[in-house]
Structures are given as C-alpha cells and as structure tokens.
Amino acid sequence: MILAVASGKGGTGKTSVVAALAAVWPAGAVLADVDVEAPNLHLFVHPVQESSEEVGVETPVVRTERCTACGACADLCQFGAIALLGGRAQVFSEMCHSCGGCFRVCPADALARGSRVVGEITTGRAGRHTVVTGRLRLGEAMAPPLMREVLARAIALAAGRDLLVDAPPGVSCPAMTAVEQADAILLVTEPTPFGLHDFQLAHQAFAPLGKPMAVVINRDGLGDAPVGAYCRTHHLPVLARIPYSSELAGIYARGGSLAEDPVVRAAMEALIGALRA
C-alpha cells in the first residue's frame, strides 16, 4: 500500500502523523519525505544515513557555432527558458522544465543535452524502516522533478512493503505530484477556520483523482471550526483525533513521536486497522 499523508494548510501536523504511524506500523515500511522544499521527517524518526546522491534534470546547452538564431526553440518554450539575445539562443536553465521539445524543433541541431543539479536524495534506516528524503537546492523553483525521483526510489525500495509518503502542504503541483501514485490519501487537518478552509481546498483538489480519502483531526479541541460536519457531509471518514495538549506539544518540541502518548498510540493503531480493513 502507498499511503500519502497530505494537508491543505502547512503546520497541521502531517509529518507528526507519519512519524506516529511509523512508530506503531506492524512491519518494516519505507518512509518517503517528498516535502523537498522543507523536509523534516528526519527530525522525528531519526534515521541513520546510509547514502546520498545528487539529482539532476536535463537542460539544453547551445552549440554557438551551429545556432542560426532561427528562434524555433524560443517560440516553442512556454516557460521562457530560451530567448534570442545577441544573435543566438540563450538558455535560462533555472526556468527549464526539461520537456525536451527544444531538441526536437531545432533544425540545426544546435542544442546539446546538458544537466543541472536540482537537489539530493538521502537514504537511511530508522529501526525497521527505510527512510528516503529529498532536499531541493536553495534557489530552485521546481520541486516535482526531484519529488518524482524520490518517489521512484522509494517505490523500488519498498518491493512489496508499505510506503508512507510525507507530502508537502497545499494543493499546487508539488502536492498533486506527491499523491498521484498513492493508493489512498490521509488528510490531516485542524479545527480552526484556516485549517478548515485549506482542508476543503485539499479535498476538492484531490477528489477528482478518485482515490480513497480519510481524515485525521489534529489538535482536536483547539477551535470550533466545523471540520467534523464537513467530513460527514462529504462522506469522509475521520479515522483519528489527536487531542490538543501541552504534553503532546512537549513531545513534538523535543523531536519525539506522538505515539509515545498512550492515547495517540491507540488512535494510530486503530487508524492502521481501519486502513487495512
């Protein structure tokens, strides 16, 4: 099973939920942190790093001696990654989406295939679990290429084991990339107006994918936003509620697992049972 743990709003606790699930998961699993712009699952599961590898994407390199400045590549590129400057094509590699279209349309074969490093993937062990983490380089604007590589690596390592995906917050391209291969989506929210608003956005964004969805309400008791009513209206099962308490905040602050708390541990075990039912 590939389970994506996602949220609309940042800071709702999805990473804490992944770490708590990992603490009580009945067998060794693969944990993939694909929130590559700000990965933090390692702060709660404390993996021992085993390997690290840079990840690059394909970008064009102009062969100036062949370029005729016809403009075909610049006209094709919808992202503004190629422009005609000084009588030849100029590549802005940070804007390139690596679609490969420019190579196809250049009549003079003036574009060579180059590569640009966008981030790194680290792999390690945390008890019974394998942990795969992606980290985007500072200044990089596009997370999905690195995320797809992290997911491909994690799926290959899973090899029949369960895979828990710690997704980025929001409903933009990175969030959609994180859930597109999942068998089920676990949405983490909180009972605040902001939490409810972004939870609704996430539900509406993911619903067209046709994947089973369920909900965890974190910081239950913090506010009075009608999250439960929304879930009932849209037939979203609430599989766990994590109470709002200073004790749990203390566990979080020292990088512990919320499953250290017996109430949360029981809730996570019940959640896993519901997922497998």
**CB neighbour class for 144 (10 Å; exposed up to 12, middle 13-18, buried from 19):** middle
CA distance 237 to 214: 5
Q: What percent of the chain has pLDDT over 90?
A: 94
Same fold, 2-55+119-276 and 64-109: no
Hey, is 9 helix, strand or coil? coil
Query: What's the whole-number average pLDDT of the chain?
Result: 96
Say which residue the tokens 């608003």 belong to.
197
pLDDT tens-digit map of 183-228: 999 999 999 999 999 999 999 999 999 999 999 999 998 887 899 9
Q: What is the pLDDT of residue 61?
A: 97
Q: What is the pLDDT of residue 198?
A: 95
Q: What is the pLDDT of residue 31?
A: 99
Residue 86 has pLDDT above 90, yes or no: no
Please name the fold of domain 2-55+119-276.
Rossmann fold (3.40.50)
Task: Compute the average pLDDT of residues 228-257.
Answer: 95
* Cβ burial 36-75 (10 Å sphere, 16+ → b, else e): bbebebbebbebeeeeeeebebebbebeeeebeeeebbbe
Query: Domain 64-109 has what CATH class?
Result: alpha beta
Domain locations along the chain: 2-55+119-276, 64-109
CA distance 123 to 39: 13
Question: Which of 64, 59, 117, 119 has its CA nearest to residue 92?
Answer: 59
220 Cβ contact partners less than 8 Å away, ≥ 6 residues apart: 191, 241, 242, 243, 244
Residue 87 has pLDDT above 90, yes or no: no
85 Cβ contact partners less than 8 Å away, ≥ 6 residues apart: none
Specify which residues 30 forms β-bridges with: 130, 163
Q: What is the pLDDT of residue 223?
A: 81
pLDDT tens-digit map of 6-64: 998 899 999 999 999 999 999 999 999 999 999 999 999 999 999 999 999 999 999 99
Confidence of residue 156 (pLDDT cuts 50, 70, 90): very high
- Cα–Cα distances (Å) from 94 to 47, 140, 162, 234, in that order, read 31, 7, 35, 41
